[in-house]
Each structure stands twice: as C-alpha cells, then as structure tokens.
Amino acid sequence: MDSQNALEMLRCAQNDNTPDCHSERSEASLCDLENRQYQGMVEDYNACEFLPVNRRNSCAILALCLEEAMKRNGETTGMSETNITLAMMAEGWETYQSQLSKALAPLSQEQLALRAAPNLRSIDELARHIIAVRAGWYHDVLREGDDAFGALSHWDEPGNPVRSADELVNGLAATWQVMQEALARYSPTDLQVVLETEWEGKKYTHRRGWVVWHVIEHDLHHGGEIGYSLGMHGLQAPDI
C-alpha cells in the first residue's frame, strides 16, 4: 500500500457515513485495516513520534500524522495546514463532548436541578444552553442541519421544559453530529466566508471560522460551569 492509498483509507475510516467505505470495512473496522498496513506506513514515516503511545491508535490522529509526514517528505497530500488544525480541534472537541455526556448521563432530575449559586443556571439549564447555542449558530447562521436540528436552538428559552439526562445526552449527540459533519467538510476558503444574519431586528456579519471558534469557546465555558457545579455537590465532573 503506498502512502496516498493509506491516506485515502484513513480518511474513509474517519467517516462512518461514507457508503464506499463500508464495502471495504473489516469486522474489526477500517481503522485496523488488514495487517494494520497504515500503522506500518505511519511508522515508516516516523510520523507520530511526538504523540503519547496511547494516542497512536486514533484513526484521525494517524491520518493527520501521515498527512504531515508526507508533506515534510515532499509528497502531495491535498490537505492544507488549516484542514489539519481544524481536524485536530474537532477530535479534541469530540473527546470533550464525550466526557461531558458521560458526566450528565447518570444524573437524576434532582441532581440536574443543582446549581452553584441561587442566581446561576442549574446543570440542566447549562446543558440545554450549550445544546441551544450550538443549534442556533450552526443552523441559523451557518445554515447547517434540518428543521429538527434548528428546533434545538429553542431549548434554553424561558418556559421550555426541563430535560432528563437521556434527553440532554441525545441533544448533545444530535448537535455534535451536525457540527462534526460540517467541520469535516469545511475548507480554508469556507472558513473565510462572511455570513449575514439578523437578530432582534439588527443585522450582523460573522466569518464562518469565527463562528466555529465561538461555539467551541462557548462549550468550554459552560461545560466548565457544569463541571464546577457537579464537583461542589460531590458528583463526578467531566474527566478532562
């Protein structure tokens, strides 16, 4: 297997929704590949020497390592530094999403109602706010997802019902799926596009790349509040 074919297989393996990938998927998964040929390729390039050993089995990380190593070797990868950076950020974001969901999943309604102070949002309200803001920016501004996805942007509005832990975890998963698909598709040119939106009668312009970053920082900020609220009440916070 040459380096370009290995790279294509790795890209394919990162996208479970690509029909062409499934025809070649082994029982173990594409990330294994027969005889782990792609890992041999990565080792030949000495591409992942800077990574901890426990992260070298990540399909996404290996693909990025191979991209970078091929570029250093003078080979064409078809992926810019912007794409590589965005893919690495998306993988980290996915890990954060997973840990946040894991912390919320076992909570009862009483625990979800806990808050750090009387004037601050409850854990439920914080989680609904994260979900709503994700959907609001990606659907209303970036025009991603369908109407069902867009409806999630109303979850944090006054008068909306509290949600169970299962609903919150599902809401995080639904929003992440749309965002992940968008992030995988965006090119450097896409990130530079300026979009216009209207809110409360005023018009605003936002660069697509700024929106991506803003939703990341919003997740981190309010996810931190969830972690603090859980910890101060003796509950397991996200393991970051």
Asked if residue 183 and residue 67 are part of one domain, the reply reads no
pLDDT score recorded for residue 89? 79
Residue 235 has pLDDT above 50, yes or no: yes
* Alpha-carbon dihedral sign for residues 183, 186, 188, 194: negative
* Distance in angstroms (rounded) separating the CA atoms of residues 92 and 103: 17
In a domain, 239, yes or no: no
CA distance 59 to 11: 9
Note whether residue 149 is domain-resident: yes
The pLDDT value recorded for residue 31 is 41
237 domain residue, yes or no: no
Select from 37, 52, 79 the last residue of a domain: 79
Q: How many Cβ atoms are within 10 Å of 64's Cβ, its own excluded?
A: 23
User: Residue 162 corresponds to which tokens in the numbers above?
Assistant: 């509290």
Q: Which residue has the higher pLDDT, 182 or 128?
A: 128
Q: Confidence class of residue 64 from pLDDT cuts 50, 70 and 90?
A: low
At residue 61, the pLDDT reads: 52
**72 and 89 belong to one structural domain:** no
Asked whether residue 23 falls in the same domain as residue 10, the answer is yes
Residue 9 DSSP SS3 = helix
Q: Is the pLDDT of residue 218 over 90?
A: yes
**Can you give the pLDDT at residue 199?**
79
> How far is Cα 30 from Cα 21, in angstroms, rounded to an integer?
8
Query: What does the alpha-carbon distance between residue 82 and residue 85 come to, in Å, rounded to a whole number?
Result: 5
In the prediction, which pLDDT does 141 show? 94
Report pLDDT for 167. Answer: 97
pLDDT score, position 164 = 96
Phi, psi (deg, nearest 5) at residue 203: -95, 140
CA 175 to chain centre: 9
How does the average pLDDT of the chain come out, rounded? 77
pLDDT the model gives residue 187? 83
d(CA 62, CA 226): 32
Domain that holds residue 109: 83-232
Which of 67-76, 168-177, 201-210 is predicted with the least confidence, judged by mean pLDDT? Answer: 67-76
Domain boundary, last residue among 56, 79, 102: 79
pLDDT exceeds 60 at position 127: yes
Residue 22, pLDDT score = 36
Decide if 95 contacts 115 (C-beta within 8 A): no
Answer yes or no: is 23 within a domain. Answer: yes
Helix (H) or strand (E) holding 122, with range, is none
